[in-house]
Structure 1
Amino acid sequence: MQKLSYVIPCYRSEHTLAGVVREVTDTMRTMPQYDYEIVLVNDCSPDGTLGTIRSLVAADPHVQGVDLARNFGQHAALMAGFHQCTGDIIICLDDDGQTPADEVGKLLEKIQAGYDVVYASYDNKRQAGWRNFGSWVNSKMTEIMLGKPPELVVNSYFAARRFVMDEMIRYEHCYPYVIGLVLRTTKNICNVSVHHRAREEGRSGYTLGKLLGLWMNGFTSFSVKPLRIATYFGTLSAVAGFFYIIYIIISHFTRHTAPLGWASTTALLLLLGGIILIVLGLIGEYVGRIYMCANNAPQYVAREYLHHEEASR
């Protein structure tokens, strides 16, 4: 009998998490061919999420929890859950009820058909317009930076085989990016269409700033293409500057006067200075990450591991 491991990162889900776990439990009753476990990772949520996790762990032997010492972010919380799960197939979903746990059979069918990873694709995303735009930008950037196939949709609801997770948890650095880890492990990935629900309550914990930080994390942790792009920009600027110098020299001898263009010269200096600062900032981002990894900054820190036997005493 194969075992499924559900990994759910939890943040501000005090009132929604019980419903998600209940849906997983009800779904698994219709799939007796599988054993299962549910790993709930509290990403230092400021509300009563930890208390909800404790009660769920105490009530069901299939549920276990991990309490992180501070907020490390969704991807680090997922990695904490991956280290605890023991299933043959690992399924990741959200804690807000938007990802339909009752449609997990669609993902499992594709896994059984031979795929290594199966991502859900949503027929109609029920989220703010700027989040949809952010998802589109993220998709395009992962195509360019990480080599994601254009037709592949990636998000937080997916299923993966055990060997994929075993390879992913070998990554021990402090800036995990789950999509990058998946894409560097296997290309045998597909999509399956599921329904995307409206958020039951509250709002997404991802602000624009957090999304930008997540993108920067993914691109600088798993690709050197930003540095190559910076090199290309620098080369093009140098070539343009060289031809502009030639133009000035020719103009001087043919028109017997140097071009007046103070405004254009100032604009050019500002442009080149901006490019230089961007490149330096990008290099600094890479150097900073190397420094943090060299100092063994933790990927996550677990304050407590919650198990049914202990919680039910």
Structure 2
Amino acid sequence: MNKLVSIVIPCYRSAEMLEGVVADIGREMDNLKDKYRWELILVNDCSPDNTFEVIRRLCEKHKNICGVNLARNFGQHAALMAGFHQVKGDYLVCMDDDGQTPADAIGDLLQGLEEGSDVVYARYEHKHHNAFRNFGSRVNDLMLKFMLGKPSDLYVSSFFAARRFIVDEMLRYQNAYPYVIGLVLRATRNIKNVTVEHRDRKTGESGYTLGKLLGLWFNGFTAFSEKPLRLATMIGTGCAFLGFLYGLYTIIKKLVNPLVPIGFSSLMSAIMFIGGMLMLMVGLVGEYIGRMYICMNNAPQYVVREIVGEEMHKPEDGLCNGPGQGPGEKEQEQNGPGRTRPGNN
């Protein structure tokens, strides 16, 4: 039997683009039908437009499409995790909903898996993002290298393919604040890149704002690395050493020339500098403690309001199915990882 490919797309403000994206995927997977079967999981991250209505229509039209509607906006990575809990495939493919990730490159990513890689990321030679998004990508790349030990020659993006055991390993992460790239890097280093073309965005604007990018960066290095704490310790040690040297300098200067006044401005500068650094370090430690507290309280990665499309095919199809479901749609509250749907083992 042909291998099953599960394609997961987090959706936000994509009502105008989604049908075209799905059509592109269908054409590419038809070209690969001799080797692969496929399913598509569309996760609506509580988009304020009618994105989920579009998803509902697509599920009614295509039996191998499953729609997941989140109760509120949890962010792209939480939406991906919600989709991962629905996949049945031997291979996973993740891509964006804006049409900038070319569906005709799915075969190239899958070929990389067939050649032995655990994960294959798309590499864009020329990204068609605005300057703000490109700057954010560069900062994110530097953060991944320093905090998570990403190889310098590895390009990571939101368009990638992975083997099933990587998906299973990512699903073991049950805490809030998921970070998919961190989960991949801690599971394997057998990763390769495939160069693909990055398309222009046909309509709409990116959902990423400065606040969301900052939150993503904080999530990456506080959830998957202790290096910020080590850096804080090093900075604190350096500040203490500089303060000690400055104290020696002040004493020696006073001994050499007793008439030299002790400067109030220099004292205030030292106090402000050291006080600011202390507040920075305390805030960083507080960030870690706060996230630990939230995780101890079992904060969900996501909450599913509704799942549609799963009743349209039989359990043996392995396509977003759930045995024992009656006709129509299924509405439920699902709290993040570790909660399986009734009849879905």
Shorter-chain TM-score: which interval?
Answer: over 0.9
Q: 2:307 aligns with which of 267, 283, 305?
A: 305
Partner of residue 4, structure 1: 5
Inter-partner Cα distance in structure 1 for 2:204 and 2:198: 16
Partner of residue 78, structure 2: 76
Partner of residue 238, structure 2: 236
Partner of residue 23, structure 2: 22
Partner of residue 319, structure 2: none
Partner of residue 164, structure 1: 166
**Superposition deviation, residue 109 in structure 1:** 1.3
Inter-partner Cα distance in structure 2 for 1:158 and 1:200: 21
RCO greater where, 1 or 2, for CA within 8 Å and sep 6 or more?
A: 1
Inter-partner Cα distance in structure 2 for 1:258 and 1:234: 30
Q: 1:120 aligns with which of 119, 122, 143?
A: 122
Task: Name the aligned partner's letter for residue 297 of structure 2.
Answer: N
Inter-partner Cα distance in structure 1 for 2:136 and 2:45: 23
Classify the secondary structure of the residue corresponding to 1:27: helix
Per the normalisation by structure 1, the TM-score is: 0.97
Q: Where do 1:103-118 residues align within 5 Å?
A: 103-118=105-120
Inter-partner Cα distance in structure 1 for 2:30 and 2:99: 19
Task: Name the aligned partner's letter for residue 82 of structure 1.
Answer: F
Measured against aligned partners, the alpha-carbon deviations of 1:232-259 in whole angstroms (never above 9, x if no partner) come to: 0000000111111111111111111454
Structure with greater proportional helix content: 1
State the aligned residue count. Answer: 312
Task: Name the aligned partner's letter for residue 132 of structure 1.
Answer: N
Measured against aligned partners, the alpha-carbon deviations of 1:5-33 in whole angstroms (never above 9, x if no partner) come to: 00000000101011111111111111111
Measured against aligned partners, the alpha-carbon deviations of 1:175-219 in whole angstroms (never above 9, x if no partner) come to: 100000000000001111000011111111000111011000110
8 Å Cα contact 1:63/1:307 also seen in 2 = yes
8 Å Cα contact 1:175/1:217 also seen in 2 = yes
Q: Where do 1:128-167 residues align within 5 Å?
A: 128-167=130-169
Structure 2: tracts of 5 or more residues without a match: 313-326, 330-345
Q: 1:52 aligns with which of 45, 51, 54?
A: 54
Partner of residue 90, structure 2: 88
Partner of residue 270, structure 1: 272
Partner of residue 196, structure 1: 198
Per the normalisation by structure 2, the TM-score is: 0.89
Measured against aligned partners, the alpha-carbon deviations of 1:131-161 in whole angstroms (never above 9, x if no partner) come to: 1111011101110000000111111000000
8 Å Cα contact 1:75/1:176 also seen in 2 = yes
Partner of residue 285, structure 1: 287
Q: What is the percent sequence identity of the aligned residues?
A: 55
Inter-partner Cα distance in structure 2 for 1:253 and 1:133: 52
**Superposition deviation, residue 311 in structure 1:** 5.3
8 Å Cα contact 1:251/1:257 also seen in 2 = no
Structure 1: tracts of 5 or more residues without a match: none
Partner of residue 209, structure 1: 211
